[in-house]
Amino acid sequence: MNAKTEYLSDFELVGMLKKDGKDSELAFTELYRRYSSRIYVYCRKFIGNSDDAKDLFQEAFINFYEKAKNEDSLINVSAFLLKIARNLCLNFKRRDKTEAVYQEYMDFKEDFKDDFQNDHEELLNLITITLDLLPPELKDIFILREYEGLSYTQISEITNLDVSNLKTRLYRAKQKIRELLQPYLEEFAKY
């Protein structure tokens, strides 16, 4: 933490970031300190793989550094970073088809039926795998709302979707999760 930047607003830090030299470095370090954990958690939840999430997280901050210097009216740094991270995660998911996740899901399904010793942990794993099976446009909204706790207005700013569309996507995501988990929850309830 640097006393010179610690009490500055995000807007002031972005102004410093646009300069070259030590001020730019100090500003970036402070913005990184403020937002790195939140952006990493978002990437981790979205991607599900910590190595890939770390790569995307680092790429998000590199992109932020490059883009912030050219952005004229950057007011909401948190939303700007989340938007960059979101786009990187969506692009990554488009490249990485769900075949491997589906196979993992099928393998887990068999394990889930056979072994109920760690019920709580297995249920959380099943939810995580189910989340990975959602289409990226539904998964994204679900994570931003349920894990990040963002309002519909905040999500709208990040995704450029209107609130009614967001609510519809969130409803569809919850329905899909419920649909995928229902057979296992029924089986789980028997025990």
Question: What's the pLDDT tens digit per position in 76-120?
Answer: 899 999 999 999 998 888 776 555 555 666 666 555 555 545 566
Summary mean pLDDT of the chain: 83
The reply to whether domains 1-96 and 97-191 share a CATH topology is no
Distance between CA atoms of 14 and 28, rounded to whole angstroms?
A: 8
Q: Which CATH class is domain 1-96?
A: mainly alpha
Check residue 99 and give its pLDDT. 52
| Contact call for residues 174 and 142 (beta carbons, < 8 A) | yes
| Contact call for residues 20 and 69 (beta carbons, < 8 A) | no
Q: What percent of the chain has pLDDT over 70?
A: 82
Distance between CA atoms of 158 and 81, rounded to whole angstroms?
A: 9
Span 2-47, pLDDT tens digits: 667 888 888 888 888 888 788 888 989 999 999 999 999 999 999 9
- Reported confidence tier of residue 57, pLDDT bands at 50, 70, 90: very high
Check residue 74 and give its pLDDT. 80
- At 17, list the tokens: 């970031």
The arithmetic mean of pLDDT across residues 151-162, rounded, is 92
**Domain limits, the chain:** 1-96, 97-191
Q: Which CATH class is domain 97-191?
A: mainly alpha
| Contact call for residues 126 and 184 (beta carbons, < 8 A) | yes
